[in-house]
């Protein structure tokens, strides 16, 4: 329902732009909700985008820039004059503003910063990397003091007129701005107005240092069902907070990143990414895979003499290696996802390894028996069936072993397991599969002729 509406508006806006009716296009765009505005805006040509943005009110422009991919937002921002851009950046969430300025040239970023109403909200965020708690946090928040009353706190909130996204939790600091506690907004308003904050607050407040990786931030917020997570420096001073919006973004980003890396797509890509970008993100992976591919081919070539004599082995070798690859991918995926969700730690290595080897043995026996039987029937050679079955069992055990071990080793080496596990595990299963199957065939070749 909603997406049809959006598509119709997009068509209407494109029509208006074709007729150079910029005012009409802007009017159509303004009638949409913020996320839909961003979607429609995203589909327009860059020149139309740079023509439209300065004409919207800065609040709407800010929403749009926040919703766009970082690179797209920067590309548009570069083309705006400093005055327009500063007015828009003023309306952005400080963390988003810092990200955008970080993507611009140093000169442009500084010019914009100088003209902001409150550059000190944004500047400190620019020193934190994008994907850390410090880079994600917002610095727009109201902190309470312990000696305030509930009524005074509500009065402060009323005067402060906070933004939409904030303030479902209120954090309490002492005079040195050290984080001391938390009061849920709901508790604040249902308490008698004279209650002191001290007695409403919970001192048991979870916080993270500014350098914490966003994946860890998401894990903590989701585990403890937090709507906001305060960010502190190394001595406990409250610097900002991560809000619920960011949590959802981080979870989706991290899941997408893992999915893509498991498939060898090296960076976030969309269906509508230009061809050039898609090639850039996928070709390196295909090149990386060449070395293992030639390694597996070299293993096969060692058995050239055997294949010359029993050419049908070339057909069955593909099944042994392929099924090993499938089993290895299953095992490594469970491991990579469990590591990502924090459900398994490096200490569980041995029990996992044992489990995966046993799963490999059982699946190997089940699949090996089936493949061996079919091969025997098709070729009329019991020895061929037995060799395929044995090779399959061996390869599935190797698959379980590599699938459980490789992600953990990569993680310990600080390499992303989602990125590199696949190529290593399938190399193991290719090499093992070909070597076992063709090796056994070479040993027992008299039975296969």
Q: Which of residues 10-69 bind a second copy (CB under 8 A)?
A: 33, 35
Task: Of 282, 288, 291, 284, give the one whose Cα is nearest residue 263.
Answer: 282
Query: What string marks each residue from 150 to 169 as x (binds a second copy by CB under 8 A) or -?
Result: ----x--xx--xx-xx-xx-
Cα 139 to chain centroid distance, Å, stands at: 24
Report the residue count for the chain.
449
**Minimum CB distance to a second copy, residue 383 (Å):** 18
In the bound state with a second copy, the residue whose beta carbon lies nearer, of 119 and 360, is: 360
Q: How many whole angstroms separate alpha carbon 395 and alpha carbon 320?
A: 7
Task: Of 373, 370, 367, 378, give the one whose Cα is nearest residue 312.
Answer: 378
**Minimum CB distance to a second copy, residue 438 (Å):** 9
Among 18, 20, 176, 308, binds a second copy (CB under 8 A): 308
Task: Decide: is 307 part of the binding site for a second copy (CB under 8 A).
Answer: yes
Among 18, 20, 81, 343, binds a second copy (CB under 8 A): 343
Task: Decide: is 129 part of the binding site for a second copy (CB under 8 A).
Answer: no
**Minimum CB distance to a second copy, residue 64 (Å):** 14
Among 370, 415, 443, 447, binds a second copy (CB under 8 A): 370
Q: Which of residues 187-226 bind a second copy (CB under 8 A)?
A: 189-190, 220-225
| Cβ-based neighbour number of residue 113 at 10 Å | 18
**Minimum CB distance to a second copy, residue 131 (Å):** 18
**Minimum CB distance to a second copy, residue 114 (Å):** 31
Q: How many whole angstroms separate alpha carbon 407 and alpha carbon 425?
A: 9
Task: Decide: is 236 part of the binding site for a second copy (CB under 8 A).
Answer: no
Contact window for a second copy (CB under 8 A) among 102-110, 115-123, 135-143, 278-286: 278-286
Contact window for a second copy (CB under 8 A) among 85-93, 108-116, 174-182, 266-274: 266-274
Residue 385 has phi, psi (to 5 degrees) of -60, -45
Q: What is the DSSP letter of 231?
A: E
Task: Decide: is 312 part of the binding site for a second copy (CB under 8 A).
Answer: yes
In the bound state with a second copy, the residue whose beta carbon lies nearer, of 366 and 447, is: 366
In the bound state with a second copy, the residue whose beta carbon lies nearer, of 126 and 227, is: 227
Contact window for a second copy (CB under 8 A) among 24-32, 70-78, 101-109, 295-303: 295-303
Q: Which of residues 241-260 bind a second copy (CB under 8 A)?
A: 244-245, 247-249, 251-252, 255-256, 258-260
Contact window for a second copy (CB under 8 A) among 98-106, 139-147, 315-323, 409-417: 315-323
Computed over its alpha carbons, how large is the radius of gyration of the chain?
Answer: 30
Contact window for a second copy (CB under 8 A) among 9-17, 24-32, 103-111, 186-194: 186-194
Q: Which of residues 392-431 bind a second copy (CB under 8 A)?
A: 430
In the bound state with a second copy, the residue whose beta carbon lies nearer, of 109 and 359, is: 359
Q: How many whole angstroms separate alpha carbon 19 and alpha carbon 24?
A: 10
Q: Are 375 and 384 in contact (CB under 8 A)?
A: yes
Query: In sequence order, which residues have a C-beta less than 8 Å from that of residue 363 and are 6 or more positions away?
Result: 327, 396
In the bound state with a second copy, the residue whose beta carbon lies nearer, of 23 and 193, is: 193
Q: Are 205 and 230 in contact (CB under 8 A)?
A: yes
Q: Are 405 and 346 in contact (CB under 8 A)?
A: no
Task: Decide: is 182 part of the binding site for a second copy (CB under 8 A).
Answer: no
Residue 99, Cβ density class (10 Å: 0-12 exposed, 13-18 middle, ≥19 buried): buried
In the bound state with a second copy, the residue whose beta carbon lies nearer, of 298 and 444, is: 298
Among 21, 26, 142, 293, binds a second copy (CB under 8 A): 293
**Minimum CB distance to a second copy, residue 113 (Å):** 27
Contact window for a second copy (CB under 8 A) among 23-31, 99-107, 112-120, 178-186: 178-186
| Token duo for residue 108 | 């442009």
Q: Are 138 and 122 in contact (CB under 8 A)?
A: no
Q: How many whole angstroms separate alpha carbon 287 and alpha carbon 305?
A: 29
Q: How many whole angstroms separate alpha carbon 271 and alpha carbon 278?
A: 9
Q: Report the alpha-carbon angle 58-17-51, nearest 5.
A: 35
Q: How many whole angstroms separate alpha carbon 342 and alpha carbon 215?
A: 10
Q: Cα–Cα distances in Å, from 24 out to 3, 12, 16, 28? A: 21, 9, 6, 6
Q: How many whole angstroms separate alpha carbon 160 and alpha carbon 176?
A: 21
Q: How many whole angstroms separate alpha carbon 390 and alpha carbon 395?
A: 9
**Minimum CB distance to a second copy, residue 352 (Å):** 5
Among 20, 107, 287, 413, binds a second copy (CB under 8 A): 287
């Amino acid at each position: 329902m909603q997406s049809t509406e959006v598509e119709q508006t997009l068509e209407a806006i494109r029509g208006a732009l074709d007729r150079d009716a910029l005012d009409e296009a802007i009017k159509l765009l303004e009638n949409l909700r913020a996320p839909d505005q961003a979607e429609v805006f995203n589909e327009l040509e860059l020149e139309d985008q740079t023509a439209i943005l300065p004409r919207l009110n800065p609040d709407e422009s800010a929403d749009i820039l926040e919703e766009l991919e970082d690179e797209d937002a920067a590309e548009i921002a570069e083309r705006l004059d400093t005055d327009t851009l500063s007015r828009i950046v003023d309306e952005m969430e400080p963390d988003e503003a810092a990200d955008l300025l970080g993507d611009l040239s140093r000169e442009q970023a500084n010019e914009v910063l100088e003209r902001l109403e409150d550059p000190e909200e944004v500047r400190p965020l620019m020193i934190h990397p994008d994907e850390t708690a410090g880079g994600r946090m917002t610095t727009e928040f109201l902190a309470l003091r312990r000696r305030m009353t509930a009524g005074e706190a509500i009065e402060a909130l009323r005067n402060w007129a906070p933004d939409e996204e904030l303030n479902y939790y209120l954090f309490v600091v002492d005079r040195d701005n050290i984080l001391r506690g938390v009061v849920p907004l709901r508790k604040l308003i249902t308490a008698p107005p004279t209650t002191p904050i001290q007695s409403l607050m919970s001192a048991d407040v979870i916080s993270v240092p500014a350098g914490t990786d966003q994946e860890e931030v998401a894990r903590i917020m989701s585990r403890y069902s937090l709507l906001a997570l305060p960010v502190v420096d190394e001595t406990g001073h409250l610097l900002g907070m991560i809000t619920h919006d960011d949590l959802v973004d981080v979870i989706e980003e991290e899941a997408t990143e893992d999915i893509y890396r498991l498939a060898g797509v090296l960076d976030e890509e969309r269906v509508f990414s230009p061809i050039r970008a898609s090639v850039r993100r996928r070709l390196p992976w295909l090149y990386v895979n060449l070395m293992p591919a030639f390694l597996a081919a070299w293993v096969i070539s060692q058995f050239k003499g055997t294949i010359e004599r029993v050419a049908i082995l070339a057909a069955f070798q593909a099944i042994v290696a392929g099924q090993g690859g499938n089993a290895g991918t299953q095992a490594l995926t469970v491991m990579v996802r469990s590591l990502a969700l924090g459900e398994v730690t490096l200490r569980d290595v041995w029990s996992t390894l044992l489990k995966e080897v046993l799963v490999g043995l059982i699946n190997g026996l089940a699949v090996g028996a089936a493949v061996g039987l079919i091969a025997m029937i098709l070729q009329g050679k019991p020895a061929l069936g037995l060799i395929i079955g044995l090779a399959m069992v061996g390869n599935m055990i190797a698959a379980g072993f590599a699938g459980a071990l490789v992600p953990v080793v990569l993680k310990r080496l600080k390499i992303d397991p989602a990125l590199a596990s696949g190529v290593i595990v399938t190399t193991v299963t290719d090499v093992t599969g070909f070597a076992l199957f063709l090796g056994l065939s070479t040993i027992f070749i008299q039975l296969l002729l």
